[in-house]
Amino acid sequence: MNVVRVEKATKDYLLGKITVCALKGVDLQVEKGEFLAIAGPSGSGKTTLLNLISGIETPSSGKIFIDERELSGLTNNELADIRAQRIGFIFQNFNLLPVLTAVENVEYPLLLTHKISSREKRIIAEHALSQVGLAQFARHRPLELSGGQRQRVAIARAIVTNPSVILADEPTANLDHKTGEEILGLMKKINQEQQTTFIFSTHDQKVMDMASRVVRLWDGSILG
């Protein structure tokens, strides 16, 4: 089953009087449980493609499907629900809220649902933190954590809703080599044990070496 399907997606940006084509008719299918790397140099369209898959941006033409549901035509609230329930995000800058503790940051995506109690949300968040080895740091704020620990919190936040797919935009870019390898190993472990689908945008060879499949983007098009 395809968790993500992209059909002939294009994305144009108007910069002054010039139209820049960031993506040119991209086709992509991602099955459940894949550990997929979208690789390419800066400006190749990697982040744009992730933004289309997440519904943050809309394609100029073409179609995007998440769990076989097409994103075009959905309202902003419907797109927000899909992002909250079906998509997890990991960013190179962690994007943690500095005033919240680690467990509060992990719990944050659950606040959008009213189907479970506050106590259950906290239990789920604490379990996610334990999965990334940070149970003892639950009450620490981001500034009290190392870069690797912050990225582990971000991973816990991404998995806490049990999403269909996790989108990771250059997740190792701000980490040293050893820490980056540890973080990648953690994500691979989650992928293998829980069959969680990961899609990376990256130019990190470590990510490409660990990926189950590498899709290469160049100047807005998929090579090969």
Percent of the chain beyond pLDDT 90?
A: 84
Between 92 and 10, name the one with better pLDDT.
10
Q: What pLDDT is attached to residue 15? A: 86
pLDDT digits (tens, 9 = 90+) for 69-89: 999 889 999 998 899 889 999
Helix locations, 132-176, DSSP H? 147-159
What residue ranges in the chain does DSSP mark as E strands?
Answer: 2-15, 18-31, 35-39, 61-66, 69-70, 87-91, 165-169, 197-202, 213-218, 221-222
Q: Is the pLDDT of residue 62 over 70?
A: yes
**pLDDT bucket at 101, cuts 50 / 70 / 90:** very high
Question: What pLDDT score does 168 carry?
Answer: 95
Q: Please state the pTM of the whole predicted model.
A: 0.93
pLDDT at 160 over 90: yes
DSSP 145: S
Q: Which domains does the chain have, with CATH numbers?
A: 33-62+74-219 (3.40.50.300)
Mean pLDDT of 188-196: 94
Q: What is the mean pLDDT of residues 14-40?
A: 94
Q: What span, in angstroms and rounded, lies between the C-alpha atoms of 68 and 84?
A: 17
What CA–CA distance (Å, rounded) separates 105 from 96? 6
Q: What is the mean pLDDT of the chain?
A: 93
Percent of residues, the chain, with pLDDT higher than 70: 100
**What SS3 state is found at 53?**
helix
pLDDT reported for residue 46? 94
Query: So what's the pLDDT on residue 113?
Result: 77
The CA-CA-CA angle for residues 180, 182, 188, to 5°, reads 100
Mean pLDDT of 189-218: 94
- Mean pLDDT for 14-31 is 93
Predicted local distance difference test score (pLDDT) of residue 195? 93
- 224 pLDDT higher than 70: no
pLDDT of residue 112: 78
